[in-house]
A and B are shown apart, each in its own frame.
Chain A
């Protein structure tokens, strides 16, 4: 079967065509469901496809239009939702066996906002279990392939969401970013991913991994599409005590007015060195050159504490996860193992957790238990929190000198599935450039900046902005995107092999 040309449209184009009556939401949804049917067996971006629900939502949009009601900016546009957000009546597993078959009785705030905006939710996407990982290999339901090369990882933990975009199964997706899980998959799949300012998007109904770091955000194929989705999902939520009670920055306006002329752009010394692939560094250097040509002033920055960010992260995130995941005790929901009438609740809990959690989750729970244990608390968790202060101060000093910071998003392109599976430290290095932003709570984006010459795989450019200045990401991102697309003659993703 030949694919419908609809699947190559951007979200903005789809919304415009539905609003004008050139396409119906049902046609658009059917085109994407057909694409999923033809390629997802190979890609495995989805864990659950909600065919009936998606078509019902699409029909509702078409009826709304027929009645002459005003449609929102993304009405009728299909979306792939990371399986970390609760969806009423639709399975939510967080990529874990411990929640296999769990059907939440309520919607996450983000899910609710998508529905209210008439976005069509196609299904739930694959992810590293509890969002712990950098490769989507830690999913209890098997790995996702990178559409550029199915033997390689699509990044993690939101590999399913980015792979769905790169394989044209959906024009929009949602990810969550605790240490880079939106930006890192975006980089290695040649798509766009944004981690908004911490607190900008509600965490209510998003299964918690590391509460002080987790942030939901938009994934898309263009900067404008990401901005349109950002505006739908962001904004204050009284159900989340960490939600920021302030207006959403004008991200769509910024994405429509891309420009870097007169901007000061920082390049941090610590974001290069050992472990960076030559082709990644080459494409990054060209991006900096491009920014100069577009009228930006480049400023060299020294952020010495960034060298300790990975270490601090791998103490703070596991500590918070060991506490957050205590709720998976086999008593109220999810899996229960060993309840034969003779065992105590404590034993059943231990057997359930042993059976239900995968290796990476166990590893982090134990790391966190260790870092928080009496005698080690000050040396590990306490010290990590001091490093967090230093990193925040480094960012503050940097943003006194520059408007945004740029870096490679990941030190390497997508690596082969299995290559780092038994080497946690090697795996953790994938998030080297993204982690400082999560620790400080500011905003960042990854967008494609070319293919690495040595392997022909996508390289991501990261843009970092101060907290609550998310619009700068879109302003700079849109300018860079437009310049690159003009140079290449087409969007980067068009160079991906057809599936």
Chain B
């Protein structure tokens, strides 16, 4: 099993949208490596003919009739927004200016 390097942690942090500080990269690299080393044993059963279980219950889509029903008001839905404008969530720019 591969060891987890500082660079790999930096890559994971980017994927996970976490702006980790330099000292955190070192700290987590060591810890993640230890944890992955300890849990990698699960791969010992990987080659066996075992079906995977993703959920303890058999899941089916549950649908309801498409009817108009009361829901949160716009004020309620926006009550927790960090910023709002014109009854909408105001977010930082998604696209660059050019």
* A386-B50 in contact given A344-B93, A363-B32 (Cβ < 8 Å): yes
Check B22 for interface membership: any CB of A closer than 8 A: no
* A366-B12 in contact given A241-B59, A345-B91 (Cβ < 8 Å): yes
Check A274 for interface membership: any CB of B closer than 8 A: no
Write the residues of chain A forming the contact surface with B, with a CB cutoff of 8 angstroms.
102-106, 198-199, 212, 238, 241-242, 244, 305, 308, 310-312, 314-315, 322, 326, 329-336, 339, 341, 343-351, 353-354, 357, 362-363, 365-367, 369-370, 373, 378-380, 382-390, 392, 424-425, 428, 439-441, 467
Q: Which residues of chain B from 35 to 87 have any CB-CB distance to chain A below 8 Å in the complex?
A: 35-36, 38-46, 48, 50-57, 59, 61-62, 64, 72, 76-77, 79-83
Contact of B43 with A383 in the complex, beta carbons under 8 Å: yes
Q: How far is the CA of A341 from the CA of B82 in the complex (A)?
A: 14
Number of A-B contacts (CB under 8 A): 181
Residue of A nearest to B54 (CB): A385
Which B residues lie within 8 Å of A106 (CB)? Answer: 72, 76
Residue of A nearest to B49 (CB): A386
* The one of A334, A425, A467 that contacts B35, using a Cβ cutoff of 8 Å: A425
* A362-B62 in contact given A331-B91, A339-B92, A390-B50 (Cβ < 8 Å): no
Write the residues of chain B forming the contact surface with A, with a CB cutoff of 8 angstroms.
1, 4, 8-9, 12-21, 24, 28, 31-32, 34-36, 38-46, 48, 50-57, 59, 61-62, 64, 72, 76-77, 79-83, 89, 91-94, 96
Q: How far is the CA of A348 from the CA of B92 in the complex (A)?
A: 7
Contact of A322 with B50 in the complex, beta carbons under 8 Å: no
CB distance from A411 to the nearest CB of B (A): 16
CB distance from B95 to the nearest CB of A (A): 8
Which A residues lie within 8 Å of B20 (CB)? Answer: 354, 362
Which A residues lie within 8 Å of B31 (CB)? Answer: 363, 424
Q: How far is the CA of A55 from the CA of B72 in the complex (A)?
A: 27
* Contacts A/B (CB < 8 Å), 6 sampled: A105-B72, A331-B91, A366-B28, A373-B15, A380-B40, A383-B44
Contact of B17 with A346 in the complex, beta carbons under 8 Å: yes
Which A residues lie within 8 Å of B72 (CB)? Answer: 105-106
Q: How far is the CA of A357 from the CA of B4 in the complex (A)?
A: 22
Contact of A383 with B46 in the complex, beta carbons under 8 Å: yes
Residue of B nearest to A365 (CB): B16
